[in-house]
Amino acid sequence: IIAFFMPKVLKGQRVLVTAGPTYEAIDPVRGITNLSSGKMGFAIARAAREAGAEVTLVAGPVSLATPRGVTRVDVKSASNMLSAVAAHAQSATVFIATAAVADWRPAAASAQKIKKDGSGQTPQLQFTENTDILATVAGLPAAQTGRLFCVGFAAESHDLLENAQAKRLRKKVPLLVGNIGPDTFGQDHNALLLIDAQGSLELPRASKLSLARQLVREIAGRMAACAP
Ligand code: CTP
Ligand code: CA
């Protein structure tokens, strides 16, 4: 009912969202992942759809229902996520990176289950850094010329404003969103800090869906402001 009355501020836009964790295999039965539930990203996909956008949601392993009218692509690893994003970024006008992408993957996943050998020795894992999906998309010509509006999220444990502003500049995105936790993982509520070239704006504690709707309005407003 509410969606019916939502102003269609993203009508005609094609929004690409990443959400959830990624899963990096160690062997066929084990891997490393993180605590992202995907709830914020799914709420943003839903809010963008309600606002009239065509939405593609690239989701890591999560147990959440696909928002109505949203095209979902399921992926496992960061490298799977990068491929799926690359396939859709060309036609997108907005990219919102909420995924908690694993920063590292085991350098070589074992093709077979690693067995205990009885000696008490533990496996020694080597890691390789995953490609930064957000920075890759933000480096595309469309993003550089403003035809593709990129939004990042920042997971910070301390000095949110300073760290997030530095991260925004490093990734070359117009808008970076910080979680004002604490302990937002898996929760239905959160508070956000929006950081752009002008400064910061706090969206006070609310449901993730309410925050997603506010964020969508903020994004639409910023796109209108920088439209040619
Ligand atoms: N991100 C991404 N691909 C990666 C790592 C991060 O797309 N390989 C995106 C996240 O989806 C998020 C933003 O980059 O939108 C910031 O992620 P974050 O983990 O906070 O930053 P990092 O650059 O990975 O730095 P660090 O974890 O060391 O703070
Ligand atoms: Ca990271």
Would you state the CATH architecture of domain 2-103+126-225?
3-Layer(aba) Sandwich (3.40)
Give CA torsion, residues 74, 150, 34, 207, to 10 deg.
-90
The sign of the dihedral angle between the CA atoms of 99, 104, 107, 110 is negative
Centre of ligand 2 to C-alpha 122, Å, is 26
Centre of ligand 2 to C-alpha 187, Å, is 20
Looking at ligand 1, which residue's alpha carbon is closest to its atom 21? 154
- Phi then psi dihedrals of residue 123, to 5 deg: -65, 145
Looking at ligand 1, which residue's alpha carbon is closest to its atom 12? 153
- Give ipTM to 2 decimals: 0.99
Looking at ligand 1, which residue's alpha carbon is closest to its atom 19? 155
* Full pLDDT tens readout for the chain, 228 residues: 566 677 899 999 999 999 999 999 999 999 999 999 999 999 999 999 999 999 999 999 999 999 999 999 999 999 999 999 999 999 999 999 999 999 999 999 999 999 999 999 999 999 999 999 999 999 999 999 999 999 999 988 789 899 999 999 999 999 999 998 767 778 889 999 999 999 999 999 999 999 999 999 999 999 977 665
Centre of ligand 2 to C-alpha 228, Å, is 33
Q: Which whole-number Å values give the CA distances from 165 to 12, 13, 30, 176, in the listed order?
A: 30, 26, 36, 8
Cα separation, 11 vs 19, in Å, equals 22
Domain edges within the chain? 2-103+126-225
- Active site members: 34
